Structure 1
Amino acid sequence: MHASRTAHEHCRSLQDALRDFRHRGLDEAVAWGRYLADVLPSGGRLLCAGNGGSAAQAQHLTAELVGRYAGDRRPYSAISLHAETSSVTAIGNDYGFDEIYARQVAAHGRPGDVLVLMSTSGRSDNLLGAATAGRAAGLRVWAMTGATPNPLSGQADSVIGIECPNTATVQEAHLVALHVLCEAFDEALQAAEAATAELPAVLTRREVS
């Protein structure tokens, strides 16, 4: 049995989206990973949020940082706000769905932390509220969205936008971007550790000379 025309079109759509990501978003994803490699080891925190499939993507990212992406390393502070079910339902019940993330950002975010917001449309009111709360609290706000410009990209300090009208394809490309981020994060940590290990030897050589 041959694959359907729809299946082939889906694959072509993803190929096109990834080609665009390599040209317009790859460097940004690497920069995000390197930036987090400076922030998290010094006690900073990553907060993430999304809705539906984007919530799953956000939780995927935090799992890679609290657990590990590839090689073994220490855990780092990363929280998926949608996974705080009691907080989400309490805030939603008392303040409304649009406030479920903003209130958590105000509670957990500290100046210098990073907030990653994922939305295929870039128009979710609860994520827009989170971006506003994040900026007010001194967090660096990053957005992963679909086609730009959109309201969320306009509130973010940095954006990875996937130029594709298909929601599923945007989410698939976001996953690739997340993995690129994690690879860059691990590489930057390894480079920093190597430089630190080399420092005593450099100092010793200077003392001898």
Structure 2
Amino acid sequence: MERYIRAQIADSAATKQAILENQELINTIMNVAKACVEVYRHGKKTLLAGNGGSAADAQHIAAELVGRYGFDRPSIPSLALTTDTSNLTAIGNDYGYDKVFSRQLEGMAQEGDLFIGISTSGNSQNIINAFESAADRGVTTVALVGRDGGKMAAMADYAIIVPSNATPRIQESHILIGHILCDIIEKELFGGGVA
């Protein structure tokens, strides 16, 4: 069992090492961070969505921004579209599950906002539909995905593709990337910036 545990940790570390060594991916993360900062400097907000574990990641990232990440500062507007069970069940019942996020964006997204869609496969239909709604409203889109990026990578303004086919490794890397974004946003807006 100890060998198995060590192998799991080593596999997770190898995925993160692959991210660290991929300059193009690092550049994309940097560009997404800059885009987020600009969204906030223009008085706009971020919206996030995902399914299952990716829903939890969307909520986690939004909570870090609205609450705090590393230090006390004013709240930063961010909304996970996965948290309102009345919206999710009403939209799912009336329009179908594939519309649960796009319908919310139709009502809440404004031009200049930024939407982060999270999916390990990059092929979640409800996120694909959300990207279409976001594009119609002048909302910048970010695909936080894995594997080959799926359909979402081709649709998004920015695609952060974790170099792994394993769902657990992709999800672990997604929250690392989410934390990096929160850290940069917070420091750029309220902490004197990052080097």
Check the 8 A contact 2:12/2:169 in 1, yes or no: yes
Percent of aligned pairs sharing the same letter? 32
Question: Following TM superposition, by how much is the alpha carbon of 1:191 offset from its aligned partner in structure 2, in angstroms?
Answer: 3.0
| Aligned match of 1:198 | none
Question: Following TM superposition, by how much is the alpha carbon of 1:57 offset from its aligned partner in structure 2, in angstroms?
Answer: 0.4
| Aligned match of 1:96 | 96
| Aligned match of 2:16 | 18
Check the 8 A contact 1:69/1:183 in 2, yes or no: yes
What's the TM-score once normalised by structure 2's chain length? 0.92
Higher mean displacement: 28-37 or 123-132: 28-37
Q: Deviation digits for residues 97-152 of structure 1, max 9, x if unmatched? A: 00000101111111110000000011111011001111111100001101224101
Check the 8 A contact 1:34/1:188 in 2, yes or no: no
Check the 8 A contact 1:33/1:183 in 2, yes or no: no
Question: Following TM superposition, by how much is the alpha carbon of 1:34 offset from its aligned partner in structure 2, in angstroms?
Answer: 2.8
1:27, 1:140 → 2: CA distance?
Answer: 17
| Residue 81 in structure 1 maps to residue 81 in structure 2 | yes
Check the 8 A contact 2:149/2:159 in 1, yes or no: no
Structure 1 residues 198-209: aligned runs within 5 Å: none
Check the 8 A contact 1:142/1:158 in 2, yes or no: yes
Q: Which amino acid aligns with 1:173?
A: S
Higher relative contact order (CA 8 A, sep 6+): 1
Q: Unaligned 5+ residue runs, structure 1? A: 193-209
Matched residue of 1:47: which SS? Answer: strand
Question: Following TM superposition, by how much is the alpha carbon of 1:184 offset from its aligned partner in structure 2, in angstroms?
Answer: 1.2
Structure 1 residues 24-63: aligned runs within 5 Å: 24=22, 25-63=25-63
Check the 8 A contact 1:26/1:177 in 2, yes or no: no
Check the 8 A contact 2:123/2:152 in 1, yes or no: yes
What's the TM-score once normalised by structure 1's chain length? 0.86
2:107, 2:12 → 1: CA distance?
Answer: 37
| Residue 105 in structure 1 maps to residue 109 in structure 2 | no
| Aligned match of 1:3 | 2
Aligned length in residues: 190
1:99, 1:156 → 2: CA distance?
Answer: 18
RMSD of equivalent CA atoms: 1.4
| Aligned match of 1:202 | none
Question: Following TM superposition, by how much is the alpha carbon of 1:35 offset from its aligned partner in structure 2, in angstroms?
Answer: 2.3
Question: Following TM superposition, by how much is the alpha carbon of 1:45 offset from its aligned partner in structure 2, in angstroms?
Answer: 1.0
| Aligned match of 1:196 | none
Q: Which amino acid aligns with 1:183?
A: D
Larger Rg belongs to:
1
1:188, 1:26 → 2: CA distance?
Answer: 18
1:26, 1:178 → 2: CA distance?
Answer: 13
Matched residue of 1:76: which SS? Answer: coil
2:16, 2:48 → 1: CA distance?
Answer: 23
Question: Following TM superposition, by how much is the alpha carbon of 1:22 offset from its aligned partner in structure 2, in angstroms?
Answer: 1.6
Q: Which amino acid aligns with 1:52?
A: G
2:149, 2:29 → 1: CA distance?
Answer: 18
1:187, 1:49 → 2: CA distance?
Answer: 24
| Residue 191 in structure 1 maps to residue 192 in structure 2 | yes
2:42, 2:145 → 1: CA distance?
Answer: 28
